[in-house]
Structure 1
Amino acid sequence: MTRTTANSMRDDYLARLDEAMRGLPHGVAADIRGGIAEELEGLDPAATTERIVRLGDPEAIAKEAHQAQSADGVTPASAVPVPRIAATSTRGFAIAAALTLSFGGFVVPIVGWFVGAVLVSLSSLWKTGEKVVAIVVPFVLCALSGILVSAMGFSSWTSTGDSSSGDTGSGGALEGVNPLVPAWYDLIWYGAMILGVVLIPLSGLWLLWRLRGRAGR
C-alpha cells in the first residue's frame, strides 16, 4: 500500500509536468521528465512528498525551460534547469554522518562524537524524532549513569570513612574487606562505561538501518 501511494504521487506529478511541457521540443521535455522520474523512483510516500516540494511546481519547471530555449534558440539537455539536490540530502552524507556518530568518538574522543551529532542533525533523510533518539538518548543515559555512580561512590566513601574512624582502636582497618575485589559501585561504574561504549555505536548503526529505502544519492 505504501509503495502504491508513492507511485501514485509520482505518476500524478509527472502527468502535471507533461501537461506543463507541451510547448517544449520533444527531446527537451523527455530529458527533463526522465531526470525527474529518476529522482522520484523508489521513494516512500514521505520522501516522495519532500522531493516533490523540493522540485517545485511543474509549471515553474516548464517556464524555466521555455526561457532557456528562448534565450538560446535550442535548449540542449545540459542547459535544462534540473533542480539540484543539497549535499545534506544525499545518502553518502547520511552514511558518513551515521558512521561518524558511531565511531568518531573512538578516533577523536568526545569531539568525534559531537561532529557526528552535528552531521546527523544536518541530514534531511532522518526524521527529527529519529535524530533525537540517536543523539540525545545515549548521551542522557550516560550522563545519568555517571551522576548516579558518583553519588553512590560518594555515599559509600563517606560510610567507609565513618566506619574506619570508629574502628581506630582495632588498627583503623576494616576487617573482611579485600581491596582486590571491586565494590558494588565499581561494578555499576564499569557497567555505565560499557553502556556508553555500546549505546553510542549502536545509535549510529540504528540510523543506518532506518536509512533503508529512503531518498538520496
Structure 2
Amino acid sequence: KQRSGTFGLSLLFRMMPLITHWNRLHPDTSPIIALQIDAFLDKMRLQVLGDATDPQYFEKLIRKYLLNDKINNRVCLVMRTDEEYLVKKETKEQLELEHVAVQLTDTQMQDIDLQTKQLNAYQSIEPNVNVLPTLQRTDIPILAPDPLHVHSDKQHRCTFLSTDTITNDLVYFRLLYDLSSSTIPNTFDCTSHSPSHLVPLLMPMYALCLTGMGASDKTPEQLSQ
C-alpha cells in the first residue's frame, strides 16, 4: 500500500464520524473500529456468502438507516419550480416603484427626469477610441532583458542568491540544509550546529511551517525533489 504524507490525516478523518456521534454509540465502542476494515468485510461476507446467508441484507440496511430512519439525522430538500416567479417579481417591483413615486415631490420628479435625459444623452455619445492606449511594434525592444540575473549577498556568514522577477509582490524562498539526526544548522549561523537533543523540539516547528506554506498535499518524495 502506498503511504503518502497525508496518510495520518486520512486515518483521523475515517474515525471522525464515530468521534462526532459518540453519544449515539455503545459505551464500549472505540473509534479505532473505523480502521478495522477487514473485520467488517469478514462480517459482511458471512451475512452475504456464509451459512446464514440473508438475501435481503443490503435491503434491510437501506430500509433501517435511510428509509425508516427515526432519528431525523438527515435533511430532505425538495425544489419545485414556480411558473409565476417572473410575474410575481415584476409585480413586486412595480408596487415598490409606485410606493416610492407617491412620496416624491414635483421637484424630485423633475430632477429624476433631468438625470434620465442626461444619462441617455451621455450613453448615446460615440466613444473616442483615440484616447485608448496603443502599442506599436517599435515599442517592444528586440532584445529582452535577462530575467535570471542573480544577486549574491552574505548575511550571518550565509550566502544568499536572489533574482529580480515579476511575481506580483510575492517572494519565493528556497532553503536547503542538513536535517540529519546529528546536526541541525543554527538559524542565525550557517556554520554552527545545534545539539542533537534539540531535534525533537525543532522538528514539530519545521513540520508546522512546512504544512503552512502550501506543501501539505506533497509527499515526502515530492518534497525531497
The TM-score, its normalising length taken from structure 2, stands at 0.18
Bigger relative contact order, structure 1 or 2, given CA contacts below 8 A and separation 6+?
1
Higher Rg? 2
Q: Which of the two has greater helix per residue?
A: 1
Q: Which of the two has greater strand per residue?
A: 2
